[in-house]
Structures are given as structure tokens and as C-alpha cells.
Amino acid sequence: MADIIQLLPDNIANQIAAGEVIQRPASAVKELLENAVDAGATHIQLIVNDAGKALVQVIDNGKGMSETDARMSFERHATSKIKVIDDLFHIKTMGFRGEALASIAAVAQVELKTRRAEDELGTYIEIENSAVKKQEPCAAAIGTSISMKNVFFNVPARRNFLKSNPAETRHIVDEFIRVALSFPNIFFSLTSNGQQVFHLEAGTLKQRVTQILGNQYAAKLVNIKEETDYMNIYGFVGKPDTARKTRGEQYFFVNNRFIRSAYLNHAVMSAFDEMIAKDSFPMYVLFIDLDPSQIDINVHPTKQEIKFEDEKIIYAFVQAAVKHALAQFSIAPSLDFSLNAEIQQLDAVSKPFTSDKQESVAASSSLFKTFTQKNQAHFIEPTERSELKHWKDFFVNRDSSMTNGDAEKIQSTIDRQLSTDNLSNSKNKLAADALLLQLHNTYIIAPTQSGFLLVHQQLAHERILYERYSAAIHGKKMATQQSLFPVTVELGAQDAALLHDLIPDLQSLGYTVEPFGNNAFVIQGTPADVQQGNEKHAIELLVEQFKHFSSDIKFSKREKLVRCMARQQAIKAGQQLTQKEMTTLVEALFECTTANVTATGSPTYIEFKEDYLDRMFGR
């Protein structure tokens, strides 16, 4: 019987390795940018076309490569960073595995131009499906230019798994931002389909953070800087009022390498404990520097997860550094145990509780005895002035503004409705001409033929809007009210890419939004039934909520957008409503196809039937 195990051909082995390293165009962006940084470049350009599917090009002014190095760089496990096993535990560069270029060459058509300062001519190499198609001398600037064209052209199944262009562009922007934040001393630019998205001049870390995340953070960053013999931590956290409902603007770097760590994220969250809402996430850009021998970065193909030798020390250090910075900038709540001088002069503080005063208190109230005499705390004597004696008065004539005539009118209305036939159809549950009541500016009490409904005004309105927007986005567009004075809104690059993707669907819902230069948009019109004057905040909140939903993959983009719009535009709990507004709301609710729950499954109302009420009172 013939042997069946054999070595894989190099090109197939490279394609399998590429599956780990190059999952999408953004993976190649990360590897190529890190290589440019390792080459000592001070000026790095990233150019992408068709969300990186057609082209990913990185141009740097680094030290370049010799002809031999240029050819060797595409071999698997070819690296300049490791010579002996000990080097693996002292890595300070970004790329070191020697798989990036080999993996890219296995799944794309690659062109490389490179030249060192001491060479008169550079080297041009063309590789396709791991095979060198052309290698020749060429004129080239000092540094390296590498182009990855038609990614996954030879693995069509992988290409079919790529997401839409806006989604892939967001992944590319994410990777670009992570590298650009790590090295604020390097110039970076990103051009997508001929339009420049980022132009980041070299500068300080604070300048880079505000360049990328937006100028709105300029005055809301708290500086963190702690140094010890074991490790250093520096960077910025946002003040509590910058906390968002999404986890987007959170960046951890260890030795300038972006990492994901739920453990360290928990350390930051615990430092913000009780300063932000439980479901909010603080913004932070934090850098940890420590001896490379204390960490293992070779535990994940993309090197985004690392292992610390002593996690507990790192956790405690991060938590303490953030807490210290927040307290230092008078953001964390602090307790002042020294009493104000004016308070100290008050009689209650300055004068002692003398025996005469004790006797006068004891004579005036038996309550004093129960707390001063032994074994008496449980015994409180009833007195004629006891407030408990007249508890029934609390429920009688409490609302002086309601006349006897009003009370009789409400009672007769309820009696009239309860005496009519009880209809099972939910649309006919409401009593005709019923007087609706609002409780705590949140709930609406609506009498029915057999009891009453307790309607939650915000959840009810969410259901109404959800059905209205669903019909609009899948059929007839909603009416748009053109703005007399169009409003401009500026977003971060990631949010701008997201809004670009939402514009066609927003148009169906009544919003007219048009791109206006780099990451800016003009709001030309809003839905006709939405009050004007708050368009900018509405769009910003919509994008924020959409990102909050985006982790749930079971919903389509349109479904997420409809849910966001319904939640955003619904009247809120705590808003006072007129009788007409309450009637319109409740009637519209029962015209919905599914009136009893919101799209997320929360009840819009609870029904209390007469027989249930009777049982509660033992009747």
C-alpha cells in the first residue's frame, strides 16, 4: 500500500498560512504599516481603492532593502528580527514572524519597489500566487513602496466572504488609527478612492489623539503618567462626560503594540466606578512600557492578544494610575471631613446636650425613652397625636385642585365604560370618551370596559414609530421637511464611514444628508414630523446608537437603523403630555399590528382587569 502523507507545495502552504494572517484587506494594511514603521520611516502613506479589494499600497521613506533582501522578504519565516531563540523574548519591533509578506503574496498580486540610500538603483519585484513574475533594477525613491492588488483573486471563496465596501473600509480605518496612535512622531496619511481621509502631521500624542478622535476631546482629556522600575504607563483618559454607549474609543498599547485585553479594560472601568453609568464606556488611549521579557506576544496570529508574566501587578498599576489621574484633576468625587467654620459655630455643634435639655426632651416625647432606656427600642407607645392614627386622611381630598364635579365626572365615565360589553379586540379595548390620566409623567392610565391599562408612554411610542419607520424603509418614503438653515455635522473618520453607508436608508426615513468634504456632512432636511432645531445632535446620537446595535449580527442594517430611529425619536419618560397627546398616543398604539410589545420585547402596557382588582382587595 502506498504512503499517503506528503509535504504540501509551498504555494498551498502559504495560502493556508495566509488564512491566519490575512483575513481581510485590513489585515494586510496592519502588516504593511508595521513593516514601514520598523524600517525607520518618518513619512508613511496608505492608499486604498475599492475598500482594499482592488489596491492596498503603502509608501514609506524608510531605509529600504537591497536586491537580495527584497527577494528574501517574500519567503516564509524570513525575518531580520530574530537570529537566536533568545531574541524572541526581547522583541521591540512590530513585525517579526516573517509570514506577512509571504502570506500577502500567496493571495494577491504584489508589486514592490525599494531602494537604500547607498544604492543608485532600486529593485522592482512582481509576485503573483507566491511565484515571482518579474525582478529587475528600477529608478526608485529611498524607502519602499509595496502594492497589494486584487486580494483573494486566486481564492474566490475567501473573496466572497468579504463584507460590503463601507464595512471593509471601517476595518482598514481601525487598523490605520491603531498604528497612527502608536507613533505620533511619524507622519501618516490615508487616501481612499482618491480622497484623502487622514493627513496626520508628526506631533505630540495629545495632538495625534485630537487629530484622530476629534477636536471635541481637546479640553476633555486627563493626562496619565506614572513611572516605576517595573513598568511605565502614560496616555489619556476622557473625562466622565465623554463616556459613550459604545466601546469604540478605547485603545491599549503595550510597548507601542495595540492589544485587546478585557482584563486591563476592567481595571480602567473599575477606576471610573460610580462616575459613569453602568452601561457606558470611558474613552482612553493608554500606553504601557515594560521589559519585553515580562510578556509573550507570540500567542495570537495577529499579535493583538498577549500574555503578561504577572497580570495582577499590571491590573493594580493601571487601576491606580487612572484613579490617581482622575483625582488629581478634581474629577473623582472626594470627601472633605473638615467641617466648615460656619457650621462649627452652630448651636447644634458647639453647645453640649446637657442633662436639663435631656429632661425637657424626655418630658415632651416618650420616643426619647425608647431609644435611651435598655430593651425599649421595640416599644413605641401610641399617643393621641400619632400620625398613624389618621392614615386614612392621607387618601382623602389630597388634590385640592380637583372639584367634586370633576371627581363625579371621572367616576361616571369609568362606571359607564365598565357597564358596556367587554370586547376582545385589542383595538376596541379602550373605553369610549375615557378621561386619561398621566402618572409620574411616564405612565398613562387608560380605562377599559373591564378595568384599566397602564401604558408606558416611551415604550408605546417606540412601537408606533418602529412600525411607521419599518413601512417607510421597505416601501413608501417618509415626507421630508427642508431645513431653512442647513446644519453641518463633523464626525470622526470611523463614524463618517458609517454614516456614508446609512445615507440612502436615512433618505427613506425623511433625512436628507449630503457629504460635505472630509468627514463632514450637511443636513438639508429632516422628517416632516420631527421638530427642527436639534438635527446635529440627532444624527450624532443615531450613529452612536447604531454602533451600539452593530454587535448584534442577527439584524440587518435596515432593521438596526429602524430600531435606532424609533428609540431616538420616541417621547421620553418624564415628559408631560396633554389630554389630546395621550389620547392620540394610545389610539395609535392600538392601531399597530403588534401593540403589546416593543421590537426588543418590552411590554408597552399592562392590563388590570376588574376581577383581578377585586381579588387584590379581597372582594
Domain ranges of the chain: 10-200, 205-328, 405-619
Q: Which H/E stretch holds residue 412?
A: helix 404-419
Q: Residue 371: CA atoms inside 13 Å, Cβ hemisphere, count?
A: 7
Q: Dmax of the chain from CA atoms?
A: 112
CA 110, 116, 117, 121: dihedral to nearest 10 degrees?
-70
Q: Residue 473: CA atoms inside 13 Å, Cβ hemisphere, count?
A: 23
Q: What kind of architecture, by CATH, is found in domain 205-328?
A: 2-Layer Sandwich (3.30)
**Which residues are bridge partners to 520 per DSSP?**
490
Residue 173 above 80 pLDDT?
A: yes
Dihedral sign computed on CA atoms, order 38, 44, 50, 55: negative
Q: What does the pLDDT look like over 97-122, one tens digit per residue? A: 456 788 888 888 999 999 999 999 99
| 435 C-beta neighbours (distance < 10 Å), count | 16
Amino acid at site 467: E
**N-term to C-term CA, the chain:** 90
From residue 553, how far is each of 550, 556, 557, 560 by CA, in Å? 7, 7, 9, 10
Q: Work out the angle at residue 36's Cα, subtended by the Cα atoms of residues 183 and 298, and round it to the nearest 5 degrees.
A: 80
What is residue 535's predicted lDDT score, i.e. its pLDDT? 80
Q: Could you tell me which residues come within 8 angstroms of residue 327 by beta carbon, excluding any fewer than 6 positions away?
A: 334
CA 186, 190, 194, 195: dihedral to nearest 10 degrees?
-110
How far apart are the C-alpha atoms of 571 and 585, rounded to whole Å?
10
CATH superfamily of 405-619: MutL, C-terminal domain, regulatory subdomain (3.30.1370.100)
Closest CA to 224 of 313, 287, 289: 287
What is residue 362's predicted lDDT score, i.e. its pLDDT? 59
Q: Which H/E stretch holds residue 372?
A: helix 367-372
Residue 467 above 50 pLDDT?
A: yes
Q: What does the pLDDT look like over 415-454, one tens digit per residue? A: 444 443 333 344 456 666 678 898 999 999 988 888 889 9
Q: What kind of architecture, by CATH, is found in domain 10-200?
A: 2-Layer Sandwich (3.30)
- φ, ψ of residue 290 to 5 degrees: the values are -150, 170
Q: Which H/E stretch holds residue 326?
A: helix 311-328
Grid cell 446637657 — which residue? 354
Q: To the nearest whole percent, how much of the chain has pLDDT over 70? A: 73
**Which residues are bridge partners to 238 per DSSP?**
221
Q: Burial code of 271-296, b = ≥16 C-beta within 10 A, e = fewer?
A: bbeebbeeebbbbbbbbbebebebbe
**Which residues are bridge partners to 597 per DSSP?**
603
Q: What does the pLDDT look like over 478-532, one tens digit per residue? A: 888 888 788 888 887 778 878 888 888 888 888 889 888 777 899 888 887 776 6
Output the DSSP codes for 13-45: HHHHHHHHH-SSHHHHHHHHHHHHHHTT-SEEE
* Highest-confidence segment of 138-147, 365-374, 607-616: 138-147
Q: What is the mean pLDDT of the chain?
A: 78
